[in-house]
Structure 1
Amino acid sequence: MERELTIGALARRTGLAVSAIRFYEERGLVRPGRNAGGQRRFARSDIRRLSFVMIAQKLGYTIAEIAARLGELPEGRAPDAEDWRAMAEGFRAELDARIALMTEFRDKLDGCIGCGCLSLTRCALYNPDDRASMRGSGPRYLMGDRPDQAEPPSSLQKRS
């Protein structure tokens, strides 16, 4: 099995267009060497790097975020299992938080999310008079606030 891959072989193996591989190279996500004739030669480990890039992009990560993660891997040698494990630790926590948010979003999408629209019948019950806005802007309940945490607007508070 060849140890170095041409850009065409890497494209076939990853399913990426050659132009995409060049784009990722320009962004520093892969760093091919050159043979005596000046042609790019990629390490077999670049298959894994590019596979990681493809999946991370599908999950909504930006190229800059992906580059930062890949920057945690060693340069000058193929990352081993321990290198990938170390990089994955921080990434795993971030993914878990995103998964939790997506699950909550999916489960609450058809109900009140604390955005202040008050257009759904349920919003009037869960967020009367837009109490969620007292905690800040945006979809407060999806951002972690609970309806029982919202303070009533001062105009609704009992006067002493």
Structure 2
Amino acid sequence: MSVSPGKGLLSIGEVASRTGLAVSAIRYYDDEGLVTARRTAGGRRMFIRSDIRRLSFILIAQQMGFSLEEIRAQLRQLPLERTPNKRDWEKISRGFRAQLDARIGMLERLRDRLDGCIGCGCLSLETCKLYNPDDRARETGTGPRLVVQKSVIG
């Protein structure tokens, strides 16, 4: 579908200026189907205003460690035929909330236990004898069980 410049559409340069993203990044996200540019007769990419929010969401989600596939799955829930509204954005925020809560929990456990026993099985610290006597965490798997899992011994 060919569109005319104007008509409330923004050029890729304008979108880059508003989002802080490089033009090449915006082209990449368009090529990946995370946003959908409209094309002028000359092939220039034009974007609707709500694409600024989509791109900003992508940027934030990537900085939080979400993969493009995870981001794509969330963005698929947004309507393409109209500008997403507050309810649409609330829907995808619920999709990320559980994942963010789990990451926050793991970061808190890491912060609280990094200088003590993390359940890795080394038992080299005196605190390991209190938190993980006889390496009981080993029964639940390998690695830093007291950080990775919410509760493994108790």
TM-score bucket (shorter structure): 0.7 to 0.9
Cα distance per residue 1:83-116 (max 9 Å; x no partner): 1112212222221222122112211111111111
Residue 22 (str. 1) matches residue 27 (str. 2): yes
Q: Is the 2:109–2:146 Cα contact (8 Å) retained in structure 1?
A: no
Q: CA deviation at 1:2?
A: 6.7
Q: CA deviation at 1:146?
A: 4.1
> Hey, what's the Cα distance between the residues in 2 that align with 1:129 and 1:100?
26
Give 4+ residue runs of structure 1 displaced > 6 Å after superposition. none
What is the TM-score normalised by the length of structure 1? 0.85
- Aligned pairs for 1:59-70 (under 5 A) are 59-70=64-75
| Aligned amino acid, residue 118 of structure 1 | L
Stretches of structure 1 that go unaligned for 5 or more consecutive residues are 149-160
Stretches of structure 2 that go unaligned for 5 or more consecutive residues are 1-5
Cα distance per residue 1:9-68 (max 9 Å; x no partner): 111110111111111112111110111222100111011011111111111101111111
Q: Percent identity?
A: 56
- Aligned pairs for 1:75-114 (under 5 A) are 75-114=80-119
What is the TM-score normalised by the length of structure 2? 0.88
- Which residue is equivalent to 2:47? 42
> Hey, what's the Cα distance between the residues in 2 that align with 1:43 and 1:114?
50
> Hey, what's the Cα distance between the residues in 1 that align with 2:98 and 2:131?
30
> Hey, what's the Cα distance between the residues in 2 that align with 1:90 and 1:67?
12
RMSD of aligned Cα (Å): 1.7
Larger Rg: 1
> Hey, what's the Cα distance between the residues in 2 that align with 1:117 and 1:29?
44
- Which residue is equivalent to 1:147? 153
Residue 120 (str. 1) matches residue 125 (str. 2): yes
